[in-house]
Amino acid sequence: MKAGIIGSGSWATALAKILTDNGEQIMWWIRNEDTIRYMQQRHHNKHYLTSVYFDTNLVQLSSNLEEVVAASDLLVLAVPSAFLEEVMLLLPPGALNGKKVVNAIKGLVPGNNLLINEYLFNMFDLPLERYFTITGPCHAEEVANEKLSYLTFSGLQEEPAQEIANMFGNSYLQTIVNRDVIGVQLAAVLKNIYALGAGIAHGLEYGDNFLSVYITNCFREMQQFLETYGQEHIEAGTEHNYNASAYLGDLLVTCYSLHSRNRTFGNMIGKGYSVKAAQLELSMIAEGYYASKCLFEMNREVGAYMPVAQAVYTILWEQLNSREAFLALEKGFL
C-alpha cells in the first residue's frame, strides 16, 4: 500500500520521516517548487524539522496534487485545517474513489464547522469506512529526535486501521488502534482550544497549581461535550476510554509542552499581544484559534456546558479581556 502525504509542514515532515524510516516508498505533495528543488538537492526540509534527512530513493516529491493522489493507495492529510478546502479544490470530484484517507489534521473545516470526514464525504463522496484518523500526544519535534511517542489510529473497522498502524509503528513510535473515529477528532480539536487557554493562563502568570486545576476542568468539559455530541452522532457501541492517550494524553502534552504552538500562541495573548501580532510572531498555524470559533458555533446545537471553551472564544474573537475572563473561570472550577 503506497502512501501519499499532502502537506509540507512540521507534522507532514514528521510523518514522512516515520514512513521512510520504515522503508516505505512515499509520494509527497509540496506546493512550493523551490522547496521541492531544495529537498531534492539537500535531502531535507529547509523550513521544518531541518535535522531530518530523507533517503531520496524512497521519496517522490511533486507539486502536482492529482499526480500524487493518483499514484497513492493511502492519502495522509497533513495541511492546516484553514487551508484544507483550498488544497482539496485542486482535485476533481472522483479523485478519492477507491482511496483510503488518513486524517492527520487536528481541526475542523472553518466556515462550515465540519469534521474532516464530513467535508470529504460532501466533496468526494468518501465513505466513513475508508476514512481513518491519526491522533495522540506526539509532537513533530520529538519524532524528529526519535523520542518514544504514541499514536492512535482510528477507523470504523479494526483490521484496516491496524494495517495502516503497522506501516507507522517502529522502535520510537508505538501504535494503538481504536474505533472511535469521530470522538478522537473532536478530542483533538478540543485539546487545542484548551492548550491555547493554558497558554493564556501562563501569560497571565498563573502558577502550576492553578494549571493543574484548569486542565482537570478542561478534561471534564471535554468528556461532557463528547458524551452530549455522541448521543446523536457517534456509533453505538464505540469504545470511549477518555483516560487513553488519544484523549487525556494529548490534552496534557498540548497544555504543558513548550513544543505546543497553541500554548505558545495563548501565552502571547495572555501577555497582551493582539491576535494579529501573535499570529505574525508565531509564523505557524495555531489550530486552536480557528477551532475555538468552530466549536463555539457547533455547541449552539450540541448544548454542552463549556465555560472554558467559551472563555477562550470570547478572548480571541470578541476581544474580552483575558484577566477578566480567567477571573470568572476561577470561581467555577472544581
Catalytic residues: 191
CA-based nearest residue to 65, from 104, 46, 41, 92? 92
CA distance 328 to 224: 20
CA distance 282 to 262: 10
Cell of 193: 482550544
User: Could you give the dihedral angle defined by the CA atoms of residues 31, 34, 36 and 41, in that order, rounded to the nearest 10 degrees?
Assistant: -170
Pairing state of beta strands 100-103 and 173-178? unpaired
Cell of 25: 516508498
Contact status, residue 102 vs residue 164, Cβ threshold 8 Å: yes
Our CA angle for 154, 110, 186, nearest 5°, is 30
User: Could you give the dihedral angle defined by the CA atoms of residues 3, 6, 8 and 14, in that order, rounded to the nearest 10 degrees?
Assistant: -40
Which residues does 98 contact at the CB level (< 8 Å), separation at least 6?
A: none
